[in-house]
Amino acid sequence: MNRGFTAEIYLNAISHNLKVIKDISRNLPVIAVVKADAYGHGAVKISGRLINDGVEYLAVAFTEEAKELRDAGINIPILVLFDPDAEDIFKYSLVPVISDKKTAVVLSKEAERRNTALNVHIKIDTGMGRLGLTGDPVKEILEIAGMKGINIEGVMSHFSEADIKDESFARMQIASFNSVRKELLQKGLNIRLFHIANSAAVEALPESHFDAIRPGIMLYGYSPVLTSNSQLIPVMTVKAKISALRRLPAGAPISYGRTFVTKRESLIGVMAAGYADGLSRRFSNNAEVIVRGRRVSVVGRVCMDLTMIDLTDIEHVEEGDEAVIIGRQGNESIDAAELARRADTIPYEILTSIGYRAKKVYY
């Protein structure tokens, strides 16, 4: 039997979410973040749909991700956020994010050698403490602007905490970013795109929108803002089949470590998905799935390839029935945000952990 571990991706939901984002931002240019295989949704298909819906700029983490998109025929600008490889940047016509002057020097020399000009975005660190120019960023940006073969198309930064109720630090970052922006413009630099707004800031901090926005998790149907009354629709549904049914007596231990013992005669289903498929071991005795329109509990420890569920109260269940891990069946629904709360993590990790073993089906 095919184990039926599938990730169903609904492209109409992507289109809907993009429209919600555009409405919030009053149709500012969208730099759509499709890194990590579009947060586990499949970067090529997702990017194609976004382009059809009018997105003119994509962002990925590394050049390897951009190469996949170029090889698939995607030819709009692609921003490479981290660790740009100089050779691939030019070979695949990518737009690197420069976070230090050393990288700028390398790219300038390569551009000069190729007798070409390279569009770049400069990242400044306004409080994330990860990557970006610090100290006197205006001075360094002016120096980079003077390098041969370098055309500064954009200047960007990244929020440390735009998704919490206390917005004071985020507002400090906005003020710092805007100060650099104003000084650069006063000095006559023709920079087209200043951008700092991630998904949380798109919703909660309209003053951060500037010339473009960089939504990520919002595109896939989840709001990072706890107080959001979001109209977003989750794009992914995840299912697995019940590969075996076992009738066990009271007192029977389930899975590794005997962390669950049946309290009555029980019908236990073996679901053909495990932690190698992105179902965290933290879901052991601590999650539910939907079978025949009803929630059932995960029992025992999640295994590498299999997970046990208690089907005792479900009528007419059969081997081969679907178990919905993320999604809706009947009147019940489970989303990545619920699973994230159970695993003490964030929806980003849940979505990106749906591994390579999931068969993606697009609708």
> Does 362 qualify as catalytic in the annotation?
no
With both helix axes pointing from N to C terminus, report the angle between 101-113 and 137-145 in degrees, rounded to the nearest 10.
10
In 175-291, at which residue ranges do the beta strands (DSSP E only) sit? 193-195, 236-248, 253-254, 260-261, 266-271, 288-291
Task: Note the helical H segments in 263-317.
Answer: none
Q: Catalytic residue, from 256, 263, 356, 359: name it.
A: 256
> Does 256 qualify as catalytic in the annotation?
yes
Q: How many CB atoms lie within 10 A of CB 318?
A: 9
Q: How far, CA to CA in Å, does 67 sit from each of 75, 91, 120, 154?
A: 11, 9, 17, 22
Q: Catalytic residue, from 10, 22, 35, 241: name it.
A: 35
Residue 268 φ/ψ, nearest 5 degrees: -105, 125
Element (H, E) at 150: strand 150-156
Q: How far, CA to CA in Å, does 68 sit from each of 10, 23, 60, 277, 356?
A: 21, 30, 11, 22, 15
**What are the beta bridge partners of residue 261?**
253
Contact 198, 32 (CB under 8 A): no
Active centre residues (catalytic): 35, 256
